[in-house]
């Protein structure tokens, strides 16, 4: 089974103006991924090597891979223009995914971080306490699906357009004080969110696995473009990550 393969685009749905759900059917049998792993997608019709971009496994069923993409720049715009029947070059699954949750677990998702965490929530249906925050209602993508597979769900938006107004990490902090959970935390989201979370889990002595979203050029460990500082030296997010034990990350 190969990690480098070509696939046919079999769906490209606009969820709203910022998000697409891209379906790609590989021409060959590919390696089964685990939640938290990712793929490098060759965006666009040409084969510009500078247009390879990392996307988390969103779903893998009947040999169809799905990616949830937030349109924010050149590569993601190129992906949004792909049509059914187009071919795409893919590398993956790459990196190390989330460790299996022992039992119930806490999920902290910030914005598009839900793309990486939803397969984990769905694989362990009814066991996640979901804390999901985004800038506004439009950015709170797949919240219905995420809530439906969770044990309990807590939602925030920065502007209060859905759920509670404020930061998801503040809501988590209050809930932890009230409920005294001592469950492991699985997180993916922007760095300021992860940084705030690292303080919370440290204070409360909780185990935490965080998926980092560094910029990546090669995705396969060769360019050192994605390194982060950890307690065991500089590590490549694409190879040793993207999921790290939160206590090992040194925030700068
Ligand atoms: C392991 C991993 C998994 C990811 N999974 C997903 C996913 O499932 N869905 C999804 O929509 N996105 C995901 N991303 C982020 C995605 O790769 C970037 O949004 C994408 O590469 C942007 O490409 P672009 O050419 O459209 O944007 P660019 O033109 O390169 O940049 C546009 C803007 O986005 C910012 N940006 C670009 N890349 C990142 C990044 N990695 N983190 C923060 N800001 C960034 C830039 O600073 C710039 O402001 C993931 C990233 C990593 C590392
Ligand atoms: S992206 Fe090249 S080493 Fe990680």
Q: Encode pLDDT of 99-157 as tens digits.
A: 999 899 999 999 999 999 999 999 999 999 999 999 999 999 999 999 999 999 999 99
pTM of structure: 0.95
User: Does ligand 2 have an atom closer than 6 angstroms to the CB of 227?
Assistant: no
Which is more confident, 177 or 108?
A: 108
Query: What pLDDT score was predicted for residue 47?
Result: 61
Report the C-alpha gap between 251 and 182 in whole angstroms: 24
Query: What pLDDT score was predicted for residue 46?
Result: 64
Residues of the chain with pLDDT > 70, as a percent, come to 97
- Ligand minimally distant from the alpha carbon of residue 193: 1
pLDDT digits (tens, 9 = 90+) for 17-58: 899 999 999 999 999 999 999 999 997 666 666 789 999 999
- 195 SS3 class: helix
- Ligand minimally distant from the alpha carbon of residue 242: 1
For 166, phi and psi rounded to 5 degrees?
A: 135, -165
CA-to-CA separations, 86 to 7, 75, 78, 176, in angstroms, rounded? 8, 16, 12, 47
- How much distance in Å is there from the Cα of 92 to the middle of ligand 2? 13
pLDDT mean over 63-75: 95
- How much distance in Å is there from the Cα of 70 to the middle of ligand 1? 8
Q: pLDDT band for 178, please (50, 70, 90 cuts).
A: confident
Q: Which of 243, 216, 217 is nearest to 230 (CA)?
A: 243
DSSP 237: T
Residues of the chain with pLDDT > 90, as a percent, come to 88
Inform me whether the pLDDT recorded for 174 exceeds 80.
yes
Q: Of the residues 52, 81, 215, 220, which should be mutated to test ligand 1's pocket, given the most ligand atoms within 8 Å of the CB? A: 215
Query: What pLDDT score was predicted for residue 49?
Result: 62
Hey, which of 2-6, 77-81, 112-116, 178-182 has the most confident mean pLDDT?
A: 112-116
Residue 227, C-beta contacts closer than 8 angstroms, at least 6 positions apart: 214, 234, 235, 236, 237
Query: What pLDDT score was predicted for residue 248?
Result: 97
Report the C-alpha gap between 171 and 151 in whole angstroms: 17
């Amino acid at each position: 089974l190969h990690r480098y393969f070509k696939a046919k685009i079999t769906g490209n749905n606009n969820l709203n103006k910022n998000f697409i759900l891209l379906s790609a059917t590989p021409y060959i049998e590919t390696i089964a991924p685990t939640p938290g792993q990712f793929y490098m997608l060759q965006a666009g019709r040409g084969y510009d090597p500078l247009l390879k971009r990392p996307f988390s496994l969103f779903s893998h069923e009947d040999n169809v891979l799905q990616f949830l993409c937030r349109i924010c720049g050149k590569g993601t715009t190129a992906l949004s223009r792909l049509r059914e029947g187009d071919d795409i070059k893919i590398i993956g699954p790459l990196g190390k995914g989330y460790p299996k949750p022992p039992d119930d677990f806490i999920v902290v998702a910030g914005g598009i971080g839900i793309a990486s965490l939803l397969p984990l929530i769905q694989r362990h249906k009814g066991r996640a306490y979901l804390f999901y925050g985004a800038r506004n209602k439009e950015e709170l993508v797949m919240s219905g699906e995420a809530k439906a597979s969770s044990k309990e769900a807590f939602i925030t938006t920065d502007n209060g357009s859905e759920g509670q107004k404020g930061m998801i990490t503040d809501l988590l902090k209050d809930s932890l004080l009230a409920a005294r959970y001592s469950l492991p935390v699985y997180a993916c989201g922007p760095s300021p969110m992860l940084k705030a979370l690292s303080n919370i889990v440290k204070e409360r002595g909780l185990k935490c696995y965080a998926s980092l979203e560094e910029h990546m050029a090669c995705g396969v460990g060769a360019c050192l473009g994605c390194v982060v500082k950890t307690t065991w030296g500089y590590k490549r997010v694409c190879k040793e990550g993207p999921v790290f034990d939160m206590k090992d990350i040194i925030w700068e």
